[in-house]
Amino acid sequence: MSVRVQYIDPEVHSQRKTEFRLHAQCYKNNLKVALNMSAGGGEFNDVCGAYGMIKHIRLMSGGVELDSCRFANYYMSWKNVNQSNEENRNRRYKLAQNNLGFQLTNQLFVSGQGAATQIATSTSSSEEAAILNLMEVLPLLEAIMIFNTDLIPNLKVVIEYNTDLQLIKKTTTNVGTISAPILIAEEILDDKVISESAKLQGVSWESPEQDTFVLPAGTAGTIQKVVQRVNAFDNKRVSKLVMMKHLFPVSANFNGANALGFGPYASQVQHQEEVNFIVNSKPVFPRNIKERAEKARHLSSAWGPVNILPYGNQSSIGNNKNGTTIAVGARIGIPFPANTPAAPQPAMKVGQQDYTGVALNTKINQLEIAYQRLPLTDGATPKRQTDALEFRIIAMVQKAIKFNKNGPPSVAYM
């Protein structure tokens, strides 16, 4: 198949929005965006990397939304975790500019791959660059091998950006400017392939959708229980979901200008936590999930590999309070941000990768989250197991698209 690589500049770009338009007749589905933030200095968030710049992203046919990912920064933070350690260490950390993929140092401390290799910029001529494969964030691209603009007229990609630097950088003292990104596309030149692609009638695929709710701060020693209705997935077929728990509001994840551990993309472990999902009035599990190993088994069964640090889903391991030094005899294997064996630094990332996932494969009429925790007395700020939490539920929802030769394509939930 004959192709020609195109490097497409945006037709619209600002610090809030970018719009690309694809004018050729046929494109392969492997669209990529080169993201840049210039003159900022500092490092991107350890989990999300440069993808934290993106708030929403949409694939459009004129005014028709074909596929989208709202709050793509949170979804891509999960997709970065949803990789093998080998994948993150060897390749992905350079594409995303994040700091996942771990190894034991010669002092037997856990260190991240990207910390020493992220690009810290200080001049307007230098840029922090990352590559986003749009198939990851817009899964319709996986379902359609070739996009023929006879079937999908006025094809365009629209990106909206986060304006809160806390969602992008590890420190808010380094601002930076979102440079105009570049869309990398392969135009198809083969007449036979173009002709065959025009015969496509429709496809189905799974797209990520999200909903959130906030659990208020608790009282130390008093169990908090909630059964929370989640409405975003009503009347939709969901294959699987994942739930994470962030300190709320976003500023609670910072000590002044500096992110605590994984910052706003940390999923905080909670003391004596129990969780269940109630789908169409029936609990998914016969009893609430309590054990970390059981939770990890359901998560990996539904989503595959996850790149979680030692003790990333555990609590009460070592001293993980900000601003104090861990004793020299601290437990081997606790992740330290600095390689200083004589006085290792606080292990803030302990207990910050606690995800709950489950395979459903059902149509949801009503979804409820049954949740409880026991808040603890804590003199630190933030109080990670007592303060308010924002629960974020990301579900893969089944959709279908139908192509109309005499009009725009139509998209519906299955």
- Predicted confidence (pLDDT) per residue in 361-410, tens digit: 999 999 999 999 999 887 788 888 899 999 999 999 999 999 987 788 99
Total-model pTM: 0.91
User: Residue 132 in contact with residue 384, Cβ under 8 Å?
Assistant: no
Specify the pLDDT at position 253: 94
The C-alpha atoms of residue 237 and residue 228 are separated, in whole angstroms, by 20
| Higher per-residue confidence, 38 vs 340 | 38
- Picking from 374, 370, 392, the residue whose alpha carbon sits closest to that of residue 245 is 392
Indicate if the pLDDT at residue 322 is higher than 80. no
Residue ranges per domain, the chain? 3-203, 204-398
Side chain identity, residue 59: L
Question: Percent of the chain scored above 90 by pLDDT?
Answer: 70
The C-alpha atoms of residue 21 and residue 31 are separated, in whole angstroms, by 12
Once rounded to an integer, what is the mean pLDDT over residues 97-111? Answer: 75
Each residue's pLDDT tens digit, 207-263:
999 999 999 999 999 999 999 999 999 999 999 999 999 999 999 999 899 898 899
Buried b (16+ CB within 10 A) or exposed e, 95-107: bbbbbbbbeeeee
Number of H helices, E strands in the chain: 7, 25
Specify the pLDDT at position 323: 39
DSSP for 273-330?
-EEEEEETTEESSSS-B--HHHHHHHHHHHH------TTTT-SS-S---TT-PPPTTP
The fold adopted by the segment(s) 3-203 is: Adenovirus Type 2 Hexon; domain 4 (2.70.9)
User: Residue 241 in contact with residue 358, Cβ under 8 Å?
Assistant: yes
The C-alpha atoms of residue 243 and residue 237 are separated, in whole angstroms, by 17
Structure tokens at 167: 């969602």
Give CA torsion, residues 321, 325, 331, 332, to 10 deg.
110
Distances (CA, A) of 21 to 8, 138, 141: 8, 16, 16
The C-alpha atoms of residue 88 and residue 112 are separated, in whole angstroms, by 10
**Average pLDDT of the residues of the chain:** 88
| Lookup result for tokens 């698209």 | 401
